[in-house]
């Protein structure tokens, strides 16, 4: 959500910043802007719309300079328009800011600044913040870094900011609270990069510093990076991380969209997630983060899973896994509700927080709340060094590689892979799974990537189904047991990228309301694999057919009963019931993708959505 890119160094800043903004388009945005400084001259270009629109404006103007800040804005305070776009400049015309986050007490600050003679051209909280910094700089006669620090002590909310003074074009001030920011450090401090994540500067440096909450960094050419605590001004030794990301991972690689590329990356992503952890030939699951805290898991009164969106659906699969395989009670909570409802958390609870980005604001807040109440908190995320990875007591990375498409695909399956490994390990250690059953599961998990590869070869059949239903207004998705969360996820994918209304339900709940919607124009996707409650699902399909609903069925290869009833059948390979979600979700991802493409939707950047929701 929103994107920041900045450059200070010896290269031309504009190409670096614009390319960086393009790499951050996956975060979701509705306007874009860039500001450049050359010999104290400030050139500011911004517009409602896409980075491509910004380029058309900027590249007819002066784009010289070795210092620049760029931004993609996702509207919070103020509608999407040119005036509300970032960067923002202070009343004096000297100070410039880009900002991700929300300043909650902006209104009271604005009233005070107006009393002091400040005026505002936008409706944003960000313009208030840059003028507040200017006021502190003026009244305290201090350097910019100190003024930023003083101003931030006065604000309530969340922020990642980059600020500079056009009269000092060798320095940028960066700070964060609740919103991620990374600083790339060039060789011998001859250049620096600032970005919401490392993707904009990966080809220039492998060295990055991730600021912690309430830290402020002073970037100055030729000088070592200085980091201080905002609250007490104490010095912090910067922790320079070596980036594992490579350029190929953030390019489309010949695919039409990142989403399609990431759907096809799932066999390798799952393999990378269990590599070194799933040792089927030795009959072991080896996870240091679990092994080192095994008594916490084995003695847990219950497991509480907190997450949002697709990660919440993965958590629901986790509930089935832990209760079925390990017989541990589980509650799955929306992080956004969990943090506000005064939940009962005990020291013998294990809280598992799931987030692709590791920066989801509500999930991060839930983590902090659980820690305060004494629970052991375990994180599952994809981004190394992310806030949730640092804040939790322990955790596991999914190793899925960058996920650029806003609609999560490989995040879902790799999160389920981690949850499966933990559940199987605990089930075996608790004596709930016999050694022979445990071994069977391990060997079957090894085969999941190759089974997904088989599924990816049937996309022509899914394209055909998509072409039939691309213009409908509603979809219904049904599943039972392990496949109920998959039905929810399938419906979410369709909503996210095609803008077709879709709902996921437990199949048995159809008769408690949704059946009223079914007629000859209502397509119903039913996950009807041959494990679990197959006969019950068949009955549900017959009820739909009796009301002339159009049935798209996901069935196990070799099925004959559902084939006779359904309008369309998509076959998947045989698997154990608990592993079916890793397979049944693949055709649903492809179906939503092809429908969205056929409807002319922006698959990778759906309207109104952001990849990582880093503010409430």
Residue with tokens 């998959």: 486
330-334 vs 182-185, strand pairing mode: unpaired
The three-class DSSP label of residue 269 is helix
CA distance 194 to 209: 10
235-236 vs 394-397, strand pairing mode: unpaired
Residue with tokens 């939707």: 601
Alpha-carbon distance values, 533 to 8, 270, 321, 549 (Å):
61, 27, 16, 21
Axis-axis angle for helices 309-321, 483-498 (nearest 10): 170
Per DSSP, helices labelled H in 25-117 are 51-58, 106-115
Tokens found for residue 472: 């409908």
Tokens found for residue 174: 């960066």
Tokens found for residue 475: 């979809």
CA distance 74 to 26: 12
246: number of Cβ within 10 Å = 13
**CA dihedral of 609, 611, 614, 616, whole degrees rounded to 10:** 30
462: number of Cβ within 10 Å = 24
Among the listed residues 55, 410, 425, 611, the single catalytic one is 611
CA distance 616 to 156: 13
Among the listed residues 2, 308, 381, 601, the single catalytic one is 2
CA distance 1 to 73: 8
DSSP bridge pairs for 242: 207
Alpha-carbon distance values, 121 to 17, 29, 124, 128 (Å):
25, 21, 9, 10
- Across 63-84, b (16+ Cβ under 10 Å) vs e yields bebbbbbbbbbbbbbbeeeebb
For the chain, helix (H) and strand (E) counts, in that order, are 21, 27
615: number of Cβ within 10 Å = 18
- Judge whether 2 counts as a catalytic residue: yes
Sign of CA dihedral 109, 110, 116, 121: positive
Tokens found for residue 254: 């010949």
- Judge whether 601 counts as a catalytic residue: no
Tokens found for residue 557: 């290869």
Which H or E run contains 503?
strand 501-506
Residue 374 region by backbone torsions, left for phi larger than 0, else alpha for psi between -120 and 50, else beta: left
CA distance 14 to 18: 6
Q: Taking the mean position of all CA atoms in its chain, how far away is CA 380?
A: 12
**Catalytic site residues?**
2, 611
């Amino acid at each position: 959500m929103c994107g920041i890119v900045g450059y200070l160094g010896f290269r031309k800043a504009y190409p670096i910043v614009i390319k960086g903004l393009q790499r951050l388009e996956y975060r979701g945005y509705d306007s874009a802007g860039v500001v450049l400084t050359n010999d104290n001259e400030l050139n500011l270009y911004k517009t409602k719309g896409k980075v491509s629109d910004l380029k058309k404006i900027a590249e007819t103007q002066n784009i010289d300079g070795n210092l620049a800040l760029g931004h993609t804005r996702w509207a919070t305070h103020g509608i999407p328009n040119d005036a509300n776009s970032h960067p923002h400049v202070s009343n004096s015309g000297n100070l410039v800011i880009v900002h991700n986050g929300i300043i909650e007490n902006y209104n009271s600050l604005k009233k005070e600044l107006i009393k002091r003679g400040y005026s505002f051209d936008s409706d944003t909280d960000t313009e208030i913040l840059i003028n507040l910094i200017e006021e502190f700089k003026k009244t305290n006669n201090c350097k910019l870094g100190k003024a930023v620090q003083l101003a931030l002590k006065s604000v309530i909310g969340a922020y990642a900011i980059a600020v500079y003074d056009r009269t000092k074009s060798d320095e940028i001030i960066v700070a964060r609270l609740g919103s991620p920011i990374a600083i790339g450090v060039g060789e011998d401090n001859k250049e620096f990069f600032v970005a919401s994540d490392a993707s904009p500067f990966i080809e220039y440096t492998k060295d990055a510093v991730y600021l912690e909450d309430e830290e402020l960094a002073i970037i100055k050419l030729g000088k070592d990076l200085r980091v201080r605590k905002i609250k007490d001004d104490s010095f912090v030794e910067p922790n320079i991380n070596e980036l594992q990301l490579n350029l190929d991972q953030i390019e489309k690689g010949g695919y039409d969209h990142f989403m399609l590329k990431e759907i096809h990356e799932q066999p390798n992503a799952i393999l990378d997630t269990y590599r070194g952890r799933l040792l089927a030939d030795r009959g072991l699951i080896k996870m240091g983060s679990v092994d080192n805290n095994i008594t916490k898991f084995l003695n847990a009164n219950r497991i509480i899973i907190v997450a949002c969106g697709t990660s919440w659906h993965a958590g629901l699969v986790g509930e089935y896994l832990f209760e079925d395989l390990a017989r541990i009670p589980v509650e799955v909570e929306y992080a956004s509700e969990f943090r506000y409802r005064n939940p009962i958390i005990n020291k013998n609870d294990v809280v598992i927080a799931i987030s692709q980005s590791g920066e989801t604001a509500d999930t991060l807040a839930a983590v902090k709340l659980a820690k305060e109440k004494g629970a052991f908190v375990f994180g599952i995320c994809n981004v190394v060094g992310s806030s949730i990875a640092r804040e939790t007591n322990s955790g596991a990375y999914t190793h899925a590689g960058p996920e650029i498409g806003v609609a999560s695909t490989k995040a879902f399956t790799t999160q389920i892979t981690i949850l499966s490994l933990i559940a199987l390990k605990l089930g075996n250690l608790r004596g709930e799974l016999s050694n022979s059953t445990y071994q069977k599961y391990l060997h079957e998990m090894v085969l999941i990537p190759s089974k997904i590869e088989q599924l990816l070869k049937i996309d022509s059949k899914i394209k055909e189904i998509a072409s039939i239903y691309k213009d409908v207004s509603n979809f219904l998705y049904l599943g039972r047991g392990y496949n109920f969360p998959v039905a929810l996820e399938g419906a979410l994918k369709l909503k996210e990228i095609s803008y077709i209304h879709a709902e996921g339900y437990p199949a048995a709940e159809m008769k408690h309301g949704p059946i009223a919607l079914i007629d000859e124009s209502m397509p119903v996707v039913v996950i009807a694999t041959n494990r679990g409650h197959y006969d019950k699902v068949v009955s549900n399909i017959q009820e739909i057919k009796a009301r002339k609903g159009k049935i798209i069925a996901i069935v196990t290869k070799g099925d004959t009963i559902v084939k006779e009833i359904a309008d369309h059948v998509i076959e998947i390979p045989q698997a154990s019931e608990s592993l079916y979600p890793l397979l049944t979700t693949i055709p649903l991802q492809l179906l939503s993708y092809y429908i969205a493409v056929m409807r002319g939707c922006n698959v990778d950047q759906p309207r109104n959505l952001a990849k990582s929701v880093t503010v409430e």
